[in-house]
Every structure is written in C-alpha cells, then in structure tokens.
Amino acid sequence: MTLTLYNTLSRDKEEFVPIDPDRVTMYVCGPTVYSYAHIGNARPAVVFDVLVRLLRHQWPRVIFARNITDIDDKINAAAAEQGVDIGEITAKFEKIYLEDMASLGVAPPDIDPHATDHIPEMIAMMERLIEEGHAYAAEGHVLFNVPSYSDYGQLSKRDQEGLLAGARVEVAPYKKDASDFVLWKPSTSDLPGWDSPWGRGRPGWHLECSCMIEKHLGRTIDIHGGGVDLVFPHHENEIAQSTCAHGGETFVRYWLHNGFVNVDNEKMSKSIGNVLLVHELLKQAPGEAIRLALLNAHYRQPLDWTDRGLAQAKRMLDRLYGALRTLGDIDTDPDAVPSAEFLAALNDDLNTPKALATLFDLARQANTASDVGEKSHIKGALLTSADLMGLLQHSADDWFAGGNGEHDGIDAEEIERLIEARHNAKADKDYAEADRIRDELASRDIFLEDGPDGTKWRRT
C-alpha cells in the first residue's frame, strides 16, 4: 500500500519512497531534559510513534533515532539554581521523560543519541564548515555564515531579506551577517564546557542534530520530524549545516511537522500557568486515553486540549474495550492483519481520526456478529489494527478495572464477593437486596453489567 506524507519542504502530500527500502531512516527531535514533560512534548512523541509502527509494518527494517538534548542554557540555569551538576538534572528528567512516554505507549527509539556524547563530532563538523567557507570563528564563537548557503530558507519559505526585516534580536557585533547563527559559544568557568580549537565552550542548539544524524543514520535520511515551531530556525539551520558539510548532498527527503497543542484555546506557557504535565494528567486518566486524545485530531492540525476532550477519549476507549469484552474468550484469528480500511487511512498522511472511525466500525461488527469464525476474524482485525496506533494494549477486564487512573479502596476480590452475594440474592428473587448491593458498589464507582456470561463490572 502506498504511504503518502505531507512534506513541509514541498507543502504537499507526496508518495513516500525510501532511498533504501531495506533500511528506512527516521529522526525526530527529542526533548531538552530540564523539567517534566508536558502534553505538548507528548504530541510529537506519540504521533511519530504511530508513524514508526506503520513504517515497521510495511518495511522490513526501520531505524528510528530520537535525541536527548542534555546541554542547553535552560539546563544550565536549572543546575545553577539547584546547585547541582547538569548531569543530575538531565539524568533525572530523561528518566522521567521516558517513563511518561512509556505510560502513553510510546516505544523507545532504536537509538537515543545524547548531545554531550557527540562533542568531537560537532567539532569535526565545524572544522569542515570553516574549511569550506560556510562558518567562521569570532571571539570564541563559531558561527554559520547564512549568506554562504544560497538555498537558505527553503524549508520555512523565507528569503534572507525577510529574515533581516523580521530580526527582533540585537545583532551581536562579532557576526558577519545579522542572520548568522551560533554553532559554538564560549563558556565561562562557572558554565559547563568542553575544550575546542576555539577555546573552552559549549555547542549551540542546532548542530547536535546534524552531527547525530550523520553519525547514526547517514548523510541523507528519509524522514525528519518535530513540532511546527522547529521549522524555523532549528530545522532550517540543520539543513544549512548538513548540506554545506556534505558538499550539497540532500539531507532529509521528507520533513514532517506536528501541530501545536493549546490548552483551553490558549498557548501553553509558564506565565499563564497552564502547562499541563504528563505525569499530572496520568492521575486524571489512563495513559492510553491521553494517547487517544492526542490521536483524535490529525497530527498537522492544532489540538485544543480540554478536560472534556480527555474524558471523551476515555469513553471512546470504553466503547472499543467494550467490544473486546463482548468478544470474550473468542480466539483471535492467528492470521489476523489490520483491516484494509484502517491501513488506507493511516497511509493517507497518518489520518488517525479516519483510522479511528474504522476501528469503531469493527467494534460495531464485533457487537453484532454471531458466527464464531466471524468474531475471531473481527477480533484479530481490531487488535492488529489498534496495535498500529498503540491502542487496546490492555485486556478488557484490566481496562474496566482501572477506571480513570488513580482510584481508592475497593479491590477486585471484594467486588467479586459482593457480585456473588448479589447473584445469590437474585436467585432468591430478593431484588431489594440485589439492588442494595448494586447501589453500594455504585457509590464506590463500581458499575455492574449483567450479561449472559455472568456479571461484569467496570470502575469509573
């Protein structure tokens, strides 16, 4: 099946054809680890996790790298404030990031390169760029000379005049051109630094990705992803660095960018105080519901995060798991594959909302099917399809036992005991007692569903 992807470079959907079908390469900009991951950090992680799953489904070998930025002025500031080494900050928040993403069903990448492990590569690339006349040293800095690369601006569709007109930052005196950007900057003794031909310093932001891509994936990769806010300047600068360091070779063939997450129609920001952290949201809803809420809109559209939307995502999963529960002990078709409609939706530029619609279609079929073979087939299609989106990763019983994440008190054993008591009451036609037990459980957020196979329960 043909995969089409919207390429920011062409501003159009293109058929995805890897350079080497036996080695598909993809890189996504990962987090700067200086604090807890918020829901905006989670969107690209989840979205590109779905893309990797889809690529793996259709190509034999996919190499996926997502970096960890572990040297950055925000990290330095946090370390200074807490009086600790930056390594303490980055180790702590990298671990938290990985745990939070795992809660959302995001699989770890094949490679997770760290910026501080690639200082020699960065120095080497800067030396190459200086030799080729694309970069220069000045006052302990190394700067990329933007006018030296005539195609600069191709990704963000900006010309260099426009850049100058829009420049809102005071131009440093050591810059040859106002649009030049920093590859390396000097560190004072109180800041982390590494020895270099230009003195003790630390890397600028953009260079690490170019170096880590070159080292781990190659000079030309198939897909590079990240949030739309990275189009300029980060990705534009990556293109400039890598292309110039590689004699003009194509750097990335398909550029993919996910839309922003807003909260109640406002941009998340510390000053507004509406930054939603993943580890806080996990107290409100299961990780899979958060994941579904992120996949309920097309990845390129802006996503407005609301409590209502998250609650809806939870209910949507209730419906899908409800269908699984109806299927009960039916064996999954061992030859199961994702449904054609589902694959077609995902292959159309990762149309996850449409893919979800096909999942609900399967759920309805599951709820109405009577033939065992048919049920087995539907169950297989539902599970394998959902798996490509990282959904339905639990058993139905576990899902309904879990409720909205954190819950108190009553355990499954006691619930089962009360259900047994109610069953006996019903057998004695003592409906008053049966209803009393139902109400008692309901008051503790446990809801019963009588069915032909006995009584099931769910926590809300």
> Taking the mean position of all CA atoms in its chain, how far away is CA 192?
29
Residue 304 or 374: the one with the smaller Cβ distance to RNA is: 304
| Shortest distance (Å) from residue 188 CB to RNA | 19
Strand order in the sheet with 266-267: 266-267, 261-263, 303-305
Distance CA 294, CA 288 (A): 10
The sign of the dihedral angle between the CA atoms of 442, 444, 447, 450 is negative
Distance CA 191, CA 43 (A): 32
Strand partners, 280: none
Residue 58 or 455: the one with the smaller Cβ distance to RNA is: 455
| Shortest distance (Å) from residue 21 CB to RNA | 26
Residue 251 or 305: the one with the smaller Cβ distance to RNA is: 305
Q: Where are the beta strands (DSSP E) in 90-204?
A: 135-138, 141-144, 181-186, 201-203
| Shortest distance (Å) from residue 309 CB to RNA | 5
Distance CA 326, CA 400 (A): 13
Residue 18 or 349: the one with the smaller Cβ distance to RNA is: 349
Residue 19 or 77: the one with the smaller Cβ distance to RNA is: 77
Residue 2 or 368: the one with the smaller Cβ distance to RNA is: 368
Distance CA 144, CA 133 (A): 9
| Shortest distance (Å) from residue 290 CB to RNA | 13
| Shortest distance (Å) from residue 32 CB to RNA | 5
| Shortest distance (Å) from residue 208 CB to RNA | 11
| Shortest distance (Å) from residue 48 CB to RNA | 10
| 70 contacts: CB under 8 Å, gap ≥ 6 | 33, 86, 87, 90, 94, 114, 115, 116
Residue 18 or 182: the one with the smaller Cβ distance to RNA is: 182
State residue 172 phi and psi, 5-degree precision: -65, 140
Go through 381-412 and write b for each residue having 16 or more CB atoms within 10 A of its CB, e for each that does not: bbbbbbbbbbbbebebbebbbbbbbeeeeeee
| Shortest distance (Å) from residue 142 CB to RNA | 14
| Shortest distance (Å) from residue 20 CB to RNA | 27
Distance CA 407, CA 398 (A): 14
Residue 158 or 202: the one with the smaller Cβ distance to RNA is: 158
Structure tokens at 218: 């190659």
Q: Is 453 helix (H, G, I), strand (E, B) or coil?
A: coil
Q: Which helix (H) or strand (E) holds 222?
A: strand 221-227
The answer to whether 250 and 220 are in contact (CB under 8 A) is yes
Residue 156 or 187: the one with the smaller Cβ distance to RNA is: 156
| Shortest distance (Å) from residue 256 CB to RNA | 11
Residue 6 or 198: the one with the smaller Cβ distance to RNA is: 6
| Shortest distance (Å) from residue 250 CB to RNA | 22
Structure tokens at 254: 């398909």
Distance CA 237, CA 67 (A): 17
Task: Cis check for the bond before 233: say yes or no (omega within 30 of 0).
Answer: yes
Angle, alpha carbons 297-95-397 (nearest 5°): 55
| 180 contacts: CB under 8 Å, gap ≥ 6 | 143, 144, 145, 146
DSSP state of 235: I
| Shortest distance (Å) from residue 175 CB to RNA | 9
Residue 253 or 456: the one with the smaller Cβ distance to RNA is: 456
Residue 158 or 253: the one with the smaller Cβ distance to RNA is: 158
Distance CA 326, CA 456 (A): 10
Angle, alpha carbons 255-45-313 (nearest 5°): 120
